[in-house]
Amino acid sequence: MPQEAANINAELPVWFPGAMQAVERLFVAFKPPLSERLAQTAARLSQMNGATSIAGALTAMVATPGLALLEALRADYGIAVDDPQLQAIGEAALALYFYLRIQDDIVDEPELLDRASVYVAEIFGSASQRAFAQALEGSPRFFAFREAIMAAFASAALWEVDHFRSGREDEADLMHMGQKFLPMAVPLGAVALLAGRPAHLDPLTEFATHFGIGLQLVNDVLNVKEDHVKQRLTPVLRWLYAGGKIAPGEPPATIRVALLADAALQRALTWAQEAMGQAETIALGLGAPRLAAIPRNRAAYTQSVPHRLLALYFNVGEL
């Protein structure tokens, strides 16, 4: 097995407990029926990534490293770890993540979350905007940035549903996939404005896009069986089907082995590493070496992905 990359999610930032406590208050702040839905949401979030708590889910090796990105950029900019505005940005980032998690599950897991879950998502979306406003004193520059980011994200998400999953080819497949992770740029942009670096907003958007491409390709490899079963077309599945070793609709038992034996796997991992390399270069160009270390870490993680895929096939080990 290749040498394991360090789990950059393992250590929670100093500002995390206060930010998490602020968000957790939302789960108990309302009367039924909203309180019942929020309790269900808390239980579901606690089980992400094989965990038993929300903190455990966020610190898992396979978790999107949003907290690590924020902490790295804070350190690169020299913002005090106990800055109350930073904690408010952390609260806003967590609420934004939960909002997007619910929204995404409504689309991808309709058997688990019904349409009424959109009202639960609204609680977190509103809390996120309120916390960002508190942190940045209602900065018009920030909210214009957030609006543009979320519009680009919404366009990419709709493209996936309306265009890509229909099976139509598109030269911009990977760029669109990366833009699904653009909301990561929102809290990073907030930290940049807190540090007085408005010129960093556009580069941080590019960073999030390239980083998102790398994350998405690795996710698509590890989730290939689930995507095949649910007929959710991804670039990895498209490349695998094109190789002829397995076709849409075939029994899923051997799809991981088929991917291990197909050039689609190396193609996906090579492109993931290249995308992470581009994200690292952008971060270094901003004078943010700690931020750059995170895509470098994720690029190293890709080396263990074939082993993890094999472990999933044999149902042993953890992600």
All structural domains of the chain with their residue ranges: 16-313
The pLDDT tens digits for 53-91 are: 999 999 998 899 999 999 999 999 999 999 999 999 999
DSSP H helical ranges for 180-288 = 185-194, 201-222, 224-229, 235-243, 255-260, 263-285
Structure tokens, 76 = 């690169």
With 0.85 as the threshold, say if the pTM is over it.
Answer: yes
Q: For residue 188, how far is the Cα from the chain centroid?
A: 13
Mean pLDDT of 197-210: 98
Within a 10 A sphere around the Cβ of 101, how many other Cβ atoms? 18
Tell me if the domain spanning 16-313 has CATH number 1.10.600.10. Answer: yes
The pLDDT tens digits for 262-312 are: 999 999 999 999 999 999 999 999 999 999 999 999 999 999 999 999 999
Residues 129, 49: contact at Cβ < 8 Å? no
